[in-house]
Amino acid sequence: MIVNYSRLILLTKADNKTFYNSKEWRTVREIVLRQNNYRCTLCGFTSKKGMVVDHIKPRKKYPEFAFDIPNLRCLCNSCHSGLSSSLGRGGDHTHGVIKKPIGEDGFPLGEDWS
């Protein structure tokens, strides 16, 4: 898939709708959701509806990572709302997260469950 990034990296509030409704974003979003099996990477909740693909490094501050799959993660609405409220809109989501990422087995990563 060839993506014309210069056309899609839009930074104003008015352009958010254009970005998130673009065919390119919807395609990348679906790839991220499928790679994560529609599972929230913070709490492990799984659903095909209502999941959010979150930019870890905010698109507003790092437009060059807008379509970078390693910069995207699957979150449930609850975890996404919690991050947005605790970090503020456009906050750097790489710090201050209390919940631990969940592995494919449904358990927190880095924990010894034996």
The answer to whether residue 9 sits within a structural domain is no
Q: Residue 15 carries which side chain, given as an amino acid letter?
A: D
Q: Do the Cβ atoms of 84 and 96 come closer than 8 Å?
A: no
What is the domain count for the chain?
1
Query: Has this prediction a pTM greater than 0.85?
Result: no
Q: How confident is the model at residue 22 (pLDDT cuts 50, 70, 90)?
A: very high
pLDDT in tens, 43-54: 899 999 989 999
Q: How far apart are CA 36 and CA 31, in angstroms?
A: 9
Residues 6+ apart with CB under 8 A from 58: 90, 91, 92, 93
Domain that holds residue 81: 14-87
pLDDT in tens, 67-113: 999 999 999 998 988 876 555 544 444 433 445 566 666 666 665 55
The answer to whether residue 39 sits within a structural domain is yes
The answer to whether residue 105 sits within a structural domain is no
